[in-house]
Amino acid sequence: MAEQILSQDEVEALLSAIKNEDVETGSKSAAEAGVEAERLKRDAEPIDLTSADRTLTVRMPSLEIFNERTGMAFGQLLETTIRRAVRVHHDGTGPMKMSEFLNYLPVPSCLNLVRIEPLWGVSLLAVEARLLYAMLEGFFGGHGAGQLRTEAHTFTSIELTFVKRVVEIYGQTLAKTWSSFLPLKMSYIRTESNPQYASIVQANDLVMVTTYNIELPSVRGKVHLAIPFSSLEPYKQELGAELQVQADERQNDWAQALQEQIGEFVIDLSVELGCIRMTVKELLALQEGTVLMLDRPADEPVVLSVEGKPKFTGRPVLHRKHVGFMVGSAVDSEEEDYVGEQPGRD
């Protein structure tokens, strides 16, 4: 038989209290919990953790710096290649959905699928067709107007050879600017003219798109580099930080260049063996072989002056049939003032 926990009087008292609502019942708490859950449900926003939209606000300052430097170096090499003035302006780096990026590209375009090792996947280097033709014409000595052909577009073997050269130039500059962070190597895969055949990831996946505005003497156009966001995600923390190391390198380069420039200056050095006072009559009477008695003993250190300022003491020496000066010690400021104020040394 089950043990009785409450007496009959206690059960009746409890039922009376529930009836008079003197105590809270479990059903009331459940009802309140249901209302609270409905309110939270209305206020909550659904989040799909598998969607790449969550990264649309990600910024990578170091990546932007790398791409800006790549654009500057790319313009210099491209100018040498096509023998035309080239201006390259970095128009920004940011995430886009693959479908939006492909819809943004004009048709036809020169869409080059490349592999950037050790980054995962395939990247896309897109060059506007008109800009490509202008560079090609300049390379072969033309005016560089960049006229598009009206027929169904396919790239000729000559055009593809030049395209591979442009990709090679960009790959060289990319590897050079990234060398301090990650060694990269870009390799060419193939070229497409229709964006439908140049998708490197799924339509809703993100790519980091870098855009360069390129100005030739007669044509303006754009070059885009699209890298899958998943390829850069392992380096997101480093690329999201400010590039302090590169700033220090630039400062060291500047200091080294300044040191090299200062090292090219020519200065006058002079060593004073001694002094003597004489009249004009005695000066005119000097002949070859005349011995002059100086005011300083032969074994006393002499002073080396730099631009008229005494800086070192030492002694004269004979080195390989040449008269020289052996530096002994530096002249401090007090000694410098003393040497400069000695009589007869003006």
pLDDT, tens digit, for every residue of 128-138? 888 888 888 87
Per-residue pLDDT tens digits for 39-97: 666 665 555 544 444 445 567 788 888 888 898 889 888 888 888 888 889 988 888 89
pLDDT at 336 exceeding the cut of 50: yes
Length in residues, the chain: 346
Mean of per-residue pLDDT scores for the chain: 78
Rounded Cα distance, 153 and 195, in Å = 13
Identity of the residue numbered 119 = L
Confidence band for 113, pLDDT divided at 50, 70 and 90: very high
Rounded Cα distance, 324 and 339, in Å = 21
Classify residue 308 as left (phi > 0), alpha (psi -120 to 50) or beta.
Answer: left
Write down all domains in the chain, each with its CATH number in brackets: 53-251 (3.40.1550.10), 269-283+293-341 (2.30.330.10)
DSSP-assigned beta bridge partners for residue 211: 224
pLDDT at 143 exceeding the cut of 70: no
DSSP 148: P
